[in-house]
A and B are shown apart, each in its own frame.
Chain A
C-alpha cells in the first residue's frame, strides 16, 4: 500500500532562516503531491500542489520541489517568521483517486 513519511517530527529554527521539510513516499507514483498547514485544534489548510511533471513550484515565501526519481518532495519556507509556526503535512492522492494519504506532519517552531 502507499506509504508517505515525513522524516522530522519537529523542526526548530530562528526567524529569518529558511525552513526545509522533507516528505518521502513509497510503493506508488502519484500524479501530484500536496502540502497543507495545520494549526493546533484546526483543520488542515491547503498550501501548494505540485504535479509529477513539475520540478518546482513557488508561492510567495514558499517553494516546493518534487523528485519522482528519489520519490521525495521538499518544502521550503524562506525568511521564516514566528507566524509560520505550525504543523505541515504532505499528502498524495491514493490510486483510486478518492482519498488523500497524509504523512504524520512536521511541527515547525520559528523563534524570534
Chain B
C-alpha cells in the first residue's frame, strides 16, 4: 500500500451533474497529480498541484478543476459531466514538483456517467 487514499471508491452520476473526488497524499508528500484512465488505456495527466497552486495541466477542458489544501490533500471537481468522463480517476502524490520523483498512486475512484 502506498499511503495515498481516495474517496469515494465508486460513484455513479448522470450527464450534466457535477462531481467532487478526494485524495489524501502520502505523509510528507507536497505534490499531488490527478490522472484519468479510460478502460484499456494508460493514465492521462489532468493536472498537478504543488503547495496549493496548479503546477501543470494536461489537455483537459476547464470544467475539470482542482484544489489542494494546506495539509496537501486534494480535490478534483468535474462540472457538466459527459458520458466520456466515465473512467478511473487516479491521484498520485510525490515529494516535489519539477524534480524527478516517483509518483505514488492511490487506488482510484471509478466514476460512471449515465
Which of B56, B58, B102, B105 makes the CB contact (< 8 A) with A49?
Answer: B102
Which chain A residue lies CB-closest to B1?
A: A45
Beta-carbon contacts of A25-66 to B below 8 Å, as 1s and 0s?
000000110101000011111100100000000000000000
Which of A45, A97, A104 makes the CB contact (< 8 A) with B100?
Answer: A97
B contact residues around A91 at 8 Å (CB): 42
**Contact of B56 with A99 in the complex, beta carbons under 8 Å:** yes
**Contact of B105 with A101 in the complex, beta carbons under 8 Å:** no
Number of interface residues of B (CB under 8 A): 29
| Complex Cα gap A91–B44 (Å) | 11
Tell me, rounded to whole Å, the shortest Cβ–Cβ distance linking B32 to chain A.
11
Number of interface residues of A (CB under 8 A): 25
Which chain A residue lies CB-closest to B108?
A: A43
| Complex Cα gap A109–B48 (Å) | 33
Q: What residues make up the interface of B, taking CB atoms closer than 8 Å to A?
A: 2, 4, 33, 35, 40-45, 48, 55-56, 58, 88, 90, 92, 97-100, 102-108, 110
7 of the cross-chain contacts (CB-CB < 8 Å) are: A41-B110, A43-B108, A46-B102, A94-B45, A99-B33, A99-B48, A100-B33
